[in-house]
Amino acid sequence: MAIILPLFGKAPQFGSNCFIAPTATIVGDVVAGDDCSFWFNAVVRGDVHYIKMGNKVNVQDGAIIHCTYQKNPTNIGNNVSIGHNAIVHGCTVFDDVLIGMGAIVMDRCQVHSNSIIAAGAVVTEDTVVEAGCIYAGVPAKKIKEVSPEMIKGEINRIANSYVKYSSWFSEINAAK
C-alpha cells in the first residue's frame, strides 16, 4: 500500500482520477491536480516546503520530487512527464514539459513550456530553460529547438499515455 503521510498538519491532496502505485511515497504539503499518477517507488516529499502540481502530471518509477527547506518550493504545471529515476528539486516546471529518465533539475531552475530535458541531463541551479527547447548534457545546455511534431509526438504523447496506463490499474482494481 502506498505511503501517504500528513506532516505538520498538512496532508497530501489529490484531484480526481489520480493513480498512486502501491509503493509510492507522498508526504506533507503536496497538492496534485486531476489525472496525475505516481508510479512505483516514486517519492514526493513536501516535508520542508510545498509541492504543487497541475493536471496530468506523471511521476514515473523511482522519480523524486523534493524542495529546499524554507527556501525553494517545487511548482509543476500541467501536462508534465517526470521520467524514471529523475530528480526534480526546489524548482519551477511550467506546462507541457518532458523531463527525461535520470535527469536532475536543481534548485531555482525554471523549465519553461514546451521544453524537453534530455535523459541524464543535469540542469544546474538557477538555470532558465528556454521555452520550446531541448536541453541535454552535464551541465545541461540548449541543443536545439523543439519542433511542433516533437511537442505532439513526445511531450503530449507521453503525458496522455500515462493517463491511459493509470486507467489500466483502476480497471484492475474495479474488477476485484
CATH topology of domain 3-175: UDP N-Acetylglucosamine Acyltransferase; domain 1 (2.160.10)
- 49 and 26 in contact (C-beta within 8 Å)? no
Distance CA 20, CA 169 (A): 10
The model carries a pTM of 0.95
C-alpha cell at 7: 506532516
**Would you list the domain boundaries of the chain?**
3-175
Distance CA 126, CA 46 (A): 21
- Quote the pLDDT of residue 82: 98
Q: What is the DSSP string of 20-80?
A: E-TT-EEEEEEEE-TT-EE-TT-EEEEEEEEEEE-SSEEE-TT-EEE-BTTTB-EEE-SSE
Percent of the chain residues past pLDDT 90, beyond the cut: 94
Q: What is the pLDDT of residues 73-91, one digit of tens each?
A: 999 999 999 999 999 999 9
* Amino acid letter for position 41: N
